[in-house]
């Protein structure tokens, strides 16, 4: 992807995410969907109740529920509370979308408790509210937004003290058109030589 394309995506994200403590960005890149967070983000969990800890799976997505889980899996803490959330971030395709092919970084995610019906936050075990999270990336190889059942847009889960926002950002068609035009001009120049 060109520096111009990355700059455009970064500008879009920064302009729409100043209110969210954790911003998760999903982009289609090199035939895969890459979902990631950035450096320097934290969560204020004081508006939620600590329920306990357990073991989290590695990163996954279920757009229809809507559930987002980032990180490499392992020991995690569970917090529940009144979380305003989107109804979904696409039609999804069931549990097929759950496990990413490759995930690393701190565990952070949103889910719905089947026992209470409330939404909650999953976070690295022992996380101290307000401390910095390591960046996280999950990759879904050989997938597109469509094959994962994701719709482009911005989706926010918010509670009284903080929020998590997911941006599903398509690469603008104009970027691809511009890139192919440059390749065509380069080919023509070479052909004339």
What are the mean pLDDT values of the chain's consecutive 10-residue runs (193 residues total)? 45 43 90 86 94 90 89 93 92 68 89 82 94 90 89 95 93 54 55 57
Separation in Å, CA 41 to CA 64, 151, 188 = 26, 25, 47
Separation in Å, CA 51 to CA 8, 26, 81, 118 = 40, 29, 10, 12
Predicted pLDDT at 172: 63
Predicted pLDDT at 183: 61
Predicted pLDDT at 142: 87
pTM > 0.75: yes or no: yes
State the DSSP H helix or E strand holding residue 34, giving kind and residue range, or none if neither.
strand 32-36
- Secondary structure of residue 6 in the 3-state scheme: helix
Contact call for residues 81 and 159 (beta carbons, < 8 A): yes
- Secondary structure of residue 152 in the 3-state scheme: coil
Predicted pLDDT at 168: 94
Q: What are φ and ψ of residue 178, in 5° steps? A: -60, -45
Q: Kindly state the tokens that stand for 66.
A: 């809507």
Separation in Å, CA 7 to CA 13, 16, 21, 32 = 10, 14, 21, 20
């Amino acid at each position: 992807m060109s520096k111009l394309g990355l700059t455009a995506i970064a500008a879009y994200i920064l302009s729409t995410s100043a209110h969210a403590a954790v911003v998760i960005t999903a982009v289609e890149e090199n035939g895969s969907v890459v979902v990631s967070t950035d450096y320097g983000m934290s969560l204020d969990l004081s508006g939620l109740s600590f329920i306990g800890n357990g073991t989290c799976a590695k990163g996954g997505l279920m757009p229809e529920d809507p559930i987002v889980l980032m990180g490499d899996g392992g020991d995690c803490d569970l917090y529940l509370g009144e979380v305003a959330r989107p109804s979904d971030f696409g039609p999804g395709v069931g549990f097929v979308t759950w496990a990413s092919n490759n995930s690393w970084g701190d565990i952070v995610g949103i889910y719905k408790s089947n026992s209470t019906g409330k939404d909650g936050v999953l976070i690295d075990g022992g996380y101290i509210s307000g401390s910095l999270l390591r960046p996280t990336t999950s990759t879904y190889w050989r997938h597109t937004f469509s094959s994962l059942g994701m719709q482009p847009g911005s989706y926010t889960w918010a509670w009284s003290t903080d929020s998590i926002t997911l941006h599903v950002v398509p690469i603008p068609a104009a970027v691809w058109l511009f890139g192919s035009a440059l390749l065509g001009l380069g080919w023509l120049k070479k052909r004339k030589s």
